[in-house]
Amino acid sequence: MPFTPLHMGPGLLVKSLLQGSFSLMVFGWTQILMDIQPLWVMLTGHGHLHGFSHTYLGATLLGIAAAFSGKYVAEFGLYLLSKRDSLPISWPVAISSALIGSFSHVLLDSIMHADVEPFFPFVQSNVFLGILSIETLHKFCIYSGLIGAGLYAAVSYYLQKTISINHPSDKAI
């Protein structure tokens, strides 16, 4: 699934469940970094399409790089979007969001791409290939995104109502 928004579907679901303990922006940044190697191979024709970046060892290293760079990229993006109440992103949130992003990326790509060797260099095969059809995998990503967006909106609405009930405005009539 290179260069598709489908990886973001499961990220939206995780965001809806973890709320402020997960950064969807760091997760998304991680998806971009994960696919730099496949992009390079597609542009140059040199290398292994889903090589080291699509192994759990590579995903760990890229996840760490994504956490350290993504924290600042995401904070800048939130600042530009005037979402200052979400700042700063804590280091534990940045690291866990990036690692969830990189590991889920490898898992999802392992299911549909024969050239992914997720446990390389320890195992040079793909035990996840074909455990779901590509159609089912795509549906999972889309439905998890829709469910995640709905849950996030519902929880946000509930929290906003709860806060306004418990802390009414200081305006007097």
Q: What is the DSSP string of 42-68?
A: HHH--S-TT-GGGSHHHHHHHHHHHHH
Write out pLDDT tens, residues 35-93: 999 999 999 999 999 999 999 999 999 999 999 999 999 999 999 999 888 899 999 99
Would you call 16 exposed, middle or buried from its count of C-beta atoms within 10 A (0-12, 13-18, 19+)?
buried
Q: What SS3 state is found at 94? A: helix
Question: Would you list the domain boundaries of the chain?
Answer: 24-156
**Cα(39)–Cα(34) distance, integer angstroms:** 10
Positive or negative, the CA dihedral 100, 106, 108, 109 is: positive
Q: What is the pLDDT of residues 43-52, one digit of tens each?
A: 999 999 999 9
Output the pTM of the full model. 0.89
Report which DSSP code applies to 103.
Answer: H
